Amino acid sequence: MTVRRLRVLEIGGVAAILLAVVSGCAAESPTPGATGDGSGYASGYRPPAPTELAPLRGTTIPAGSLTRPSLAAKVDNHEEARPQLGLERTDLVFEELVEGGITRYVAIWHSELPDEVGPVRSIRPMDPDIITPFGGIVAYSGGQEQFVEMMMATPVFNAVFDYDDTGLFYRDDVHDSPHDVIVKAAELVGRHLDLPSPGQQFAYSSVAASATPALDGAPTSSVQLRFSDARWPGWSWDSAGQQWLRSQEGQPDLDDAGTQLRATNVLTLRVGIDWSYGEVPKTVMVGGGEAWVSTGGKTSHGTWSKDAAGGVIRVVDDNGVTMRLAPGNTWIELVPDDQGSVEITP
């Protein structure tokens, strides 16, 4: 060990000893070029590969491994559209009220990308406010001209069944029309890899045990929601699988493989409804209201806010502190203030 220009202020000899020990430890640290094996580090040491968060799940991924754009799709939730394709692989799903008291989904894929998703249906007036923050691509079957124009006015790339002549959409032979339009999701995204990946939408904890509900939430066995007399989805906590299991109208909600749909996080937002479009309800997304975050068998109460169509949804607890979700997929339930209800069961 060599110590150059060692200057010691002696206080009973103690300082000199401490400096010598520190110098000795430094000499044993990995030293670039020490082994000559090309690694640049002693004893074959390699630093860990850099990582980052998947922006729509909060899971840890290798840095630079997820550069494709996200895909949002308007997915049908009519009884004749079930089981849907690809919902079990989403990062985020927004459930919204549409005419007739039924619901429809804005489903978003980024971390995983199925070959096909659907059935896809038409756009609605609240969808630009939901989808714009993600950028990327939106797929849908069409819609009223005014709603299509609203969606087309956003910076999101629109892939529309009614206008497609490239074979990206087709009608399957499993569902009856109009609940049968399928989009080739992987091919669609593959054609637009020049589009940027989405930004992070919610705050995430590093592990489930440090998510906001896990730290200070109330124990919860189920979350029962009512959008209308026609739609009342629910979520039950599965302690064995450590996930929420989804039901609709009292029955398990299944994917196309017969497995019950599940979520790591259930984010419930109370929302206003704008009836200025006649029988078509518009969920009011720019504004705010009451919120619940359900994670790890617990639920925390707070409020949500969104300041612009392109702004992200911010969720804070009753003390105004940003709530953190657990790493994993999330369903966002947009429950109407005027006709809906939320029941959190211990």
Query: For residue range 125-170, what is the model confidence (pLDDT) as tens digits?
Result: 999 999 999 999 999 999 999 999 999 999 999 999 999 999 999 9
How many domains are there within the chain? 1
Rg (CA), the chain: 25
In a domain, 90, yes or no: yes
Fill in the DSSP letter of residue 132. Answer: G
Helix (H, G, I), strand (E, B) or coil at 298: strand
In a domain, 306, yes or no: yes
In a domain, 52, yes or no: no
* Burial label, 49 (beta-carbon count in 10 A; 0-12, 13-18, 19+): exposed
In a domain, 123, yes or no: yes
Is the pLDDT reported for residue 32 higher than 60? no
Q: Which residues contact 202 (CB under 8 A, 6 or more apart)?
A: 58, 267, 312, 313, 315, 325, 330
For residue 120, which amino acid is it? V
**pLDDT category of residue 49 using cuts at 50, 70 and 90:** confident
Cα(225)–Cα(206) distance, rounded to whole angstroms? Answer: 29
Partner residues linked to 267 by β-bridges: 293, 332
Q: Which two tokens stand for residue 267?
A: 């984010």
Which whole number is the average pLDDT over 243-258?
97
Which whole number is the average pLDDT over 34-53?
71
The Cα-based distances of 2 to 24, 30, 229, 300 in angstroms read 9, 17, 81, 58
Cα(52)–Cα(60) distance, rounded to whole angstroms? Answer: 6
CB 269 within 8 A of CB 285: no
Query: For residue range 73-98, what is the model confidence (pLDDT) as tens digits?
Result: 999 999 999 999 999 999 999 999 99
Which whole number is the average pLDDT over 52-57?
96
Q: Which two tokens stand for residue 219?
A: 């124990």
**What is the 3-state secondary structure of 89-114?**
HCCEEEEEECHHHCEEEEEEECCCCC
Q: What is the pLDDT of residue 48?
A: 85
Cα(146)–Cα(142) distance, rounded to whole angstroms? Answer: 11
Q: Which two tokens stand for residue 270?
A: 């109370």
In a domain, 24, yes or no: no
In a domain, 15, yes or no: no
Fill in the DSSP letter of residue 249. Answer: T
Residue 235 belongs to domain with CATH number: 3.50.90.10
CA torsion through residues 237, 240, 242, 246, sign: negative
In a domain, 309, yes or no: yes
Cα(199)–Cα(182) distance, rounded to whole angstroms? Answer: 27
For residue 216, which amino acid is it? D
Is the pLDDT reported for residue 27 higher than 50? no
In a domain, 138, yes or no: yes
Cα(133)–Cα(127) distance, rounded to whole angstroms? Answer: 11
Average pLDDT over the chain, rounded to an integer: 90
Provide the pairing of β-strand 282-283 with 222-226. unpaired
Buried b (16+ CB within 10 A) or exposed e, 202-233: bbbbeebeebbbbeebeebebbbbbbbeebbb
Nearest alpha-carbon partner for 187 in 86, 115, 84: 115
Which whole number is the average pLDDT over 42-67?
89
CB 104 within 8 A of CB 135: no
Q: What is the pLDDT of residue 17?
A: 36
Which whole number is the average pLDDT over 222-235?
97
CA dihedral (37, 42, 43, 48) in degrees, to 10, reads -100
Owning domain of residue 187:
58-345
